[in-house]
Amino acid sequence: MIKRIIAVVAGALALGVASAQAQEVKVGVNLPYTGIGAEFAQLVDRGMELYLKLNADRVKPYKITLIRRDVKDPSGANAKIAVQELLTQDNVDILAGWIYSPNAIASAPIVTAGKKLAVIMNAGTAHITNLSPYYVRTSFSMWHAGYALGEASAKILNAKTAVVGYTDFPPGKDSLAAFKRSFEANGGKVIDEIPMGGAGAVPDFTPFFQRAKDKKPDLFFVFVPAGDHAAAVVKTYAALGMREAGIKLIGPGDITQDTKLQAMGSAAVGLITMHHYHADLDNPENKRFVEAWKKEYGAATTPDFMAVGGYDGMAAIVHVVHALKGKIEVDAALEALKGWKFASPRGPITIDPVTRDIVMNEYLSEAVMKDGRVYQKVIGKIDGVKDACKEQKIGPCAPPAK
């Protein structure tokens, strides 16, 4: 009898261990934890971790383990290795991350071969989600902001002419195409297009900005990577007296990234952006998010659009884990995310069931000085914006052949 009881208890313990193991979901994260993108990686990573902490009861009874791989740079080569190792060595259930578009583009064949859900938390080149049937994006496409800002520039800012300056890599080319198509469809004219170096080292923007100034446009639309590139853009704009010359500096929210905005100071005042998030958005979810962020990471820190990409991406992953009861199968995961809705700090979001891309609000904002700090004041909003590149089936944004 004693032996039988021991056997039953041992069996129960074994089942308990097996059950606990079954409840763990491994998420393989590829981000540039070192190198030029380390600050960006930290923002996305903190966004993921904050969601898990604030929603610990929501995550239960499952355990989500983040397995991190450093992709170092935007070359694509390291990202391919990292994703391959996450799949074959770490045996992850879900993939996540991708700061840079070239990395997401390079990873696509490996993601497809690995047959795992892959949640893009930042990379914004529009056609990326067409490159693998397992990509789902919770961040943005360059066309969300660029296309919306083209229309707003003509209709709200009453501009007739614009020069476009862009970092010469896929997101920059996308941003140019989106703004130009929309601005010119609404009666404006892009009178010059200026490639301004690559996404690595920050170039001297002076000759590019002087060329734009000499064209005397109403607007200078600029896309550069957030961070040090954006800070240099604002500094150069001020140094060349372009505001005094009557030229407005506009762009997606990369140029007024929350983490750099206060250091820009008065030079940022008057900048006009279109973006899906900034820390000054006035909604209950964002107020809670910013408060929790500062409590967790320090009063001097602030979240930005990359942080929200990680936060919302983890919300999507947790939704999938619960919908599939911890047993992650890629087709079922994709089905669970079709039309998924979430009350994000950026406002309401959903995943387009056809394109697997995000649908969200876009905010037209102006940088103003308020109580000694630079504040982003919302002066317009467009609800439920889809990626216009896919909506209009432009070039590689057209649905892939089946």
Q: Yes or no: is domain 2-140+283-356 CATH 3.40.50.2300? A: yes
At residue 7, the pLDDT reads 41
At residue 95, the pLDDT reads 99
Sign of the alpha-carbon torsion through 179, 364, 223, 75: negative
Token duo for residue 12:
């129960």
Which ranges of 240-394 does DSSP label H, i.e. alpha helix? 258-264, 284-297, 305-323, 330-337, 388-391
DSSP annotation of 355: T
Q: Please name which of 28, 37, 276 lies closest in space to residue 141, comparing C-alpha atoms.
A: 276
| Spatial separation of the C-alpha atoms in residues 342 and 28, rounded to whole Å | 23
Q: Which helix (H) or strand (E) holds 236?
A: helix 228-239
**Max Cα distance, the chain (Å):** 95
| Spatial separation of the C-alpha atoms in residues 9 and 13, rounded to whole Å | 6
Same fold, 2-140+283-356 and 143-275+361-397: yes
| Spatial separation of the C-alpha atoms in residues 5 and 16, rounded to whole Å | 16
Contact 278, 363 (CB under 8 A): yes
From residue 40, give the alpha-carbon distance in Å to each of 34, 140, 252: 10, 15, 17
At residue 120, the pLDDT reads 99
pTM: 0.92
Contact residues for 301 (Cβ-Cβ < 8 A; gap 6+): 259, 293, 294
| Spatial separation of the C-alpha atoms in residues 244 and 240, rounded to whole Å | 9
Q: Please name which of 298, 259, 306, 7 lies closest in space to residue 140, comparing C-alpha atoms.
A: 306
Sign of the alpha-carbon torsion through 370, 228, 95, 395: positive
At residue 6, the pLDDT reads 40
Sign of the alpha-carbon torsion through 386, 388, 392, 393: negative
Sign of the alpha-carbon torsion through 292, 294, 295, 297: positive
Contact 248, 226 (CB under 8 A): no
Amino acid at 313: G
At residue 21, the pLDDT reads 52
| Spatial separation of the C-alpha atoms in residues 358 and 349, rounded to whole Å | 7
Contact residues for 147 (Cβ-Cβ < 8 A; gap 6+): 178, 179, 181, 182, 388, 389
| Domain segments of the chain as ranges | 2-140+283-356, 143-275+361-397
Contact residues for 212 (Cβ-Cβ < 8 A; gap 6+): 163, 165, 192, 194, 220, 242, 247
Contact residues for 111 (Cβ-Cβ < 8 A; gap 6+): 83, 95, 118, 132, 134, 135
At residue 10, the pLDDT reads 43
At residue 13, the pLDDT reads 44
CATH code given to domain 143-275+361-397: 3.40.50.2300
Phi, psi of 304 (to 5 degrees): -140, -165
Q: How far is CA 132 from the centre of its chain?
A: 18
Block means of pLDDT (10 residues each) for the chain, 402 residues, are 40 45 87 96 99 97 98 96 98 98 98 99 98 98 98 98 97 97 98 96 97 98 95 97 98 95 95 98 98 98 98 99 97 99 99 98 97 96 97 94 73
